[in-house]
Copies of this chain bind each other. A is one copy, B any other.
């Protein structure tokens, strides 16, 4: 049977599967893109690539590197998005979650993720999430993630020291207190919107990219941490994070 043209996926998102039997997205930078794709109601399919195969795969499809090592060699990481919609013969290929988000907003402006005039502030927010908010969380979540990968992938996953030695921190009360401190600070900032919003989303009433970046961190905790950890985190700050997760819930489909 010939596939109907409408069945042809026009956007492909490259993602790393979790080790569970059902491929499950778990990397926060890829969740960012998936939430945006679903929010914008774009038709796409996921191509799953194990960590050790990423460089070869991306090289073979001609995807751009996401960065350059000090010695000049290219760095290939996911997410990568390939879009055949605009020109099936010369598809757009983009690396890096933020660049993909900006591309999607530009190519598919309906259901905007960057309300007018907010883009600079949203990217300062993303910078804060990555450089400050996520710092103690990474100490906990990177080893947790590493432990759950298949052996072949473990050596390709960026854990400091490469041996998962930081794993004992998983239950460290001091580090969780640091994580809680970052959530508390963020809640104090988001609370400033209480007068003109629903008290849940970053820009007051409508979901925007900043929410997806934040929810992607929550999803990382939810998908990979011990179950009781997520039960606790989601109730911090009067359940604010659970409400955000719930608000984004309809955009968590994995196509």
Contacts and interface: CB of A to CB of B under 8 A. Distances in A.
Interface of A: 102, 106, 115-125, 127-128, 131-132, 189-193, 195-197, 202-206, 210
B123 A196 contact: no
Contacts of A123: 189, 192
Residue of A115, A121, A125, A196 with highest tally of chain B CB at under 10 A: A121
B128 A202 contact: no
B196 A120 contact: no
Contacts of A131: 132
Number of this chain's copies in the assembly equals 2
Interface of A (DSSP majority class) = helix
Contact of A196 (B102, B117, B193, B210): B117
Contacts of A205: 117
A117 B189 contact: no
Contacts of A128: 124, 127-128
Nearest to A204: B117
25 contacts: A106-B195, A116-B204, A117-B193, A117-B196, A117-B197, A117-B203, A117-B206, A118-B118, A118-B203, A118-B204, A119-B193, A119-B196, A120-B190, A120-B191, A120-B193, A120-B202, A120-B203, A120-B204, A121-B202, A121-B203, A121-B210, A123-B189, A123-B192, A124-B125, A124-B128
A110 to B, nearest CB: 16
A102 B119 CA distance: 23
A191 B123 CA distance: 11
Given A121-B203, A131-B132, 14 more contacts: A106-B195, A117-B197, A119-B192, A119-B204, A120-B189, A120-B190, A120-B193, A120-B202, A121-B121, A121-B125, A123-B189, A124-B124, A124-B125, A128-B128
